[in-house]
Structure 1
Amino acid sequence: MKILVISGFLGAGKTTFIQTLSEKTGKTFAVMENEYGSTGIDGNILKQDRLKVWELTEGCICCSLKSDFASSILTIANTADPEYLVVEPTGVGLLSAVMNNISKIEYERIRLLEPITIVDVHCVDSYLKEFRELYTDQIKKASQIILSKTETVSENEISCIVRILRDLNPQAKITSEPYNTQKPEWWNSFFENLYNKNKAELAAEPMHSSDLENTGFDNIRINSVNELLEVLAALMYGFFGTVFRAKGYVPISGQWTKFDVVNKQYRVSLCNKMPESKVIVIGRNLDYGLLRTAFNVNPEIDIL
């Protein structure tokens, strides 16, 4: 079993990239999903692509969940035994620590591939200021860096971002063009390059950003698109606290809708029917009571 780690900070677009990876390569692979917080969102999205998904929540596989993480990988290898396992760590974990944890159980039947980091071009400056240690670790330890959400960004802005990333990691391959436009051989290369851990500088003391809070709710209700947009705007502009990431899905007038907030931007799109409506919010100084009210959560349902 070959293991491909796809890293990236909060909202970078890791799940979207994994969906595209499945579509473009046509390969059958399993996915291990590590959400930050107790509410799993992305697992249900990936399962709709008929991917086999294992979810680990309420901890980070780079530290507090590392024993469960290692045991899960061994279990997957010994039972399901897929040819490839894609690991999507939580956005607030050290990539070096994740690679270190996997390397400890690597043997002839479990091989590590070169890790990838997805970078949201809209968040580079702000995340370097707010989360420098975590953010730079994910960049410095990647063999390949792929820019996401470049569609509305000028060539000059992208060139500046590439220079910043190149200064942090001179050896990494950096893809600044939209990854949807890449040729099949580019996609297939991810599954071919083995990780050379002998040259890697791995983390001695895994850690993650413990000052971030998260809360999640199941069975949320939104009555109209306008109501959803008002909630998303309130999330972005600090009405519920400092929000770095929020995501979820909910039916509105019979149509399932997926929403996503990253820093000061939001996206809304239609999606297939989900098992239940839910949301997770990650940030600082969150007002849980106001969030419950905004998402029309039944007061008898406890905060997750």
Structure 2
Amino acid sequence: MKINNNLEILTTDYRTFPKKWFGEILNKSIDNKIIDKNFSLKTHINLRTFSKENINLKTMDELGLFLNKLVNGDFGKIYRAKGIVKIDGYWGKFNLVYKNFEMEPITDAKGTKIVIIGNNLDIENLKNI
């Protein structure tokens, strides 16, 4: 098990956070590197969030294909995505930041779920996952 020593736990209501905070978090990769030095939240007016429970991904191939579609922009420009899935009877979670993703096993979960943040999200096609 790896421990993230850089983790910051915030207990404040996110709706009170300044726009600059959201811009900084959306413009960093998994390894905390700046993605786009010219990034501006003002240019991301169509930023949306999508979430769904009871995901229909049953195999590693389906999960891999889905993550590649997210990275390739098939559902819009994705800045962050995370989810919990159950594949072949095993639980796992994934995190995607811009064009990088990581997956790891977990011991148990209450159900499958995905959350996606991006621009111009294709909500109708995401609903079919």
Match of 1:214 among 49, 54, 69: 49
Matched residue type, 1:92 = F
The alignment's C-alpha RMSD in Å is 3.1
In the TM superposition, what whole-angstrom CA distance separates every residue of 1:45-67 from its partner, at most 9, and x where no partner exists?
A: xxxxxxxxxxx5xx52315xxxx
Task: Tell me the equivalent position of 1:62.
Answer: 17
Over the matched positions of the two proteins, sequence identity in percent amounts to 26
Task: Output the CA distance in 2 between the equivalents of 1:212 and 1:259.
Answer: 21
Task: Tell me the equivalent position of 1:75.
Answer: none
Instruction: Kindly indicate which of the two structures has a greater share of residues assigned to helix.
Output: 1
Q: 1:119 to 1:232 in 2, by over 3 A?
A: closer
Instruction: Kindly indicate which of the two structures has a greater share of residues assigned to strand.
Output: 2
Write out aligned runs for 1:161-176 (5 A): none
Q: Which runs of 5+ in 1 are unaligned?
A: 1-15, 22-30, 35-55, 64-90, 96-117, 134-208, 296-304
Task: Tell me the equivalent position of 1:124.
Answer: 34
Q: Which has the larger radius of gyration?
A: 1
The 4+ residue runs of structure 1 with deviation greater than 3 A are 31-34, 118-123
Q: 1:284 to 1:217 in 2, by over 3 A?
A: same
Write out aligned runs for 1:243-282 (5 A): 243-282=78-117
Length-normalised TM-score, structure 2 = 0.76
Higher relative contact order (CA 8 A, sep 6+): 2
Length-normalised TM-score, structure 1 = 0.35
* 1:132 positional shift: 7.1
Q: Which runs of 5+ in 2 are unaligned?
A: none
Task: Tell me the equivalent position of 1:92.
Answer: 22
Q: 1:120 to 1:260 in 2, by over 3 A?
A: closer
Name the count of aligned residue pairs.
122
- Alpha-carbon contact 1:123-1:263 (below 8 Å) kept: no
Matched residue type, 1:226 = D
Task: Output the CA distance in 1 between the equivalents of 2:98 and 2:85.
Answer: 21
